[in-house]
Amino acid sequence: MRLFLVRHLPPLVAPGVCYGRTDLATDPAVQVSALPALRAALPADAPVYSSPLQRCAVLAEALGSPVTFDARLVELDFGAWEMQPWDAVPRAGVDAWAADVAGYRPGGGDSVIDMAARIAGFHTDLMATNVREAVVVCHAGAIRLLMARAAGLDVPAMAHAAAAHPHRIAYGEIVTLDAV
């Protein structure tokens, strides 16, 4: 199956603020300008799956196909860190997370392993549909984990692979991969 993984457009949030599961909007004008290129790069008849968070959902619906929303695609929950400036997050917490990026629960929220388990379940169910192509509108964390899963990694290895390096997935970027 060929997957077209689309990262949402830039959320309306101040720079330097920690956000993950927070349901943030995007600028409608940015979406209008991004849609023609996205539509041209994506298969018109492929099923569309999306995180239910509005920064993904609004984009997914604008792509024109019926959308299947799946909560397993939601971004990492940073718990008490959500919507806090990064420089206000306690240094001890950041250090603990750096020491165990895959297993630590930042702000008491999700660990990357928790998110990897959700994404692995989504991937398994998606592969069972036997469609040839699918569009998935989601978050950078979900994209990194789907890439790891498509490479055949199990949940712990997915989490470690996704957490090993900072991502370089731009807002509105499409990552295409062949998954089995």
Q: pLDDT digit string (tens) for 42-82?
A: 999 999 999 999 999 999 999 977 999 999 999 999 999 99
CATH classification of the domain holding 12: 3.40.50.1240
Q: How confident is the model over 32-45, as a mean pLDDT?
A: 96
pLDDT of residue 3: 97
Residue 87 burial by Cβ neighbours in a 10 Å radius (0-12, 13-18, 19+)? exposed
Structure tokens at 14: 């101040």
pLDDT of residue 165: 82
* Average pLDDT along the chain: 96
Q: For residue 90, give every residue at least 6 positions away whose Cβ sits within 8 Å of its Cβ, in sequence order, or none.
A: none
**Ramachandran region of residue 108, left (φ > 0), alpha (ψ -120 to 50) or beta?**
left
pLDDT of residue 180: 73
pTM, two decimals, is: 0.95
Query: For residue 47, which amino acid is it?
Result: P
C-alpha distances in angstroms, 103 versus 12, 115, 158? Answer: 29, 10, 12
For the chain, how many structural domains are there in total?
Answer: 1
pLDDT of residue 30: 97
Q: How confident is the model at residue 27 (pLDDT cuts 50, 70, 90)?
A: very high
Domain that holds residue 157: 2-178
Q: For residue 63, give every residue at least 6 positions away whose Cβ sits within 8 Å of its Cβ, in sequence order, or none.
A: 35, 38, 39, 42, 48, 135, 137
